[in-house]
Amino acid sequence: MPSMSTRPQSSQPIAAGEADELRCPADAGPAWQAACAAGLDMSLVEMNLQRTPWERWLAHDEALRFSLRLRKAVEEYYG
């Protein structure tokens, strides 16, 4: 599977016109190209595809637990 990592490695700003090239590599499939053309930021997808299923599950579980704690805190605060 070709690497989909397209985020710049430096902290330099991206010049106009370069952002599309960085987000949509030449070897991207049609669905990926359509997402890029629609203006979607694919960096989170790329990052998650580099994780193992177990790592993705742990990240999801952590986000879910945070969401539930936040909901409980809001309900306690606002009644």
> Would you give the DSSP letter of residue 10?
S
What pLDDT, on a 0 to 100 scale, did the predictor assign at position 24?
A: 79
Contact 50, 7 (CB under 8 A): no
The residue to which tokens 């949509």 are assigned = 24
Chain segment 21-58, per-residue pLDDT in tens:
455 778 889 998 899 889 888 888 889 999 999 999 99
> Going by C-beta distance under 8 Å and a sequence separation of 6 or more, which residues neighbour residue 22?
6, 7, 8, 14
Chain segment 59-75, per-residue pLDDT in tens:
999 999 999 999 999 99
CB-CB neighbours of 23 under 10 Å: 22
d(CA 66, CA 46): 23
3-state SS assignment for residue 2: coil
**Statement: the pTM of the whole predicted model exceeds 0.85:** no
Ordered by start, the domain boundaries in the chain are 18-78
What pLDDT, on a 0 to 100 scale, did the predictor assign at position 72?
A: 98
Q: Is the pLDDT of residue 12 over 80?
A: no
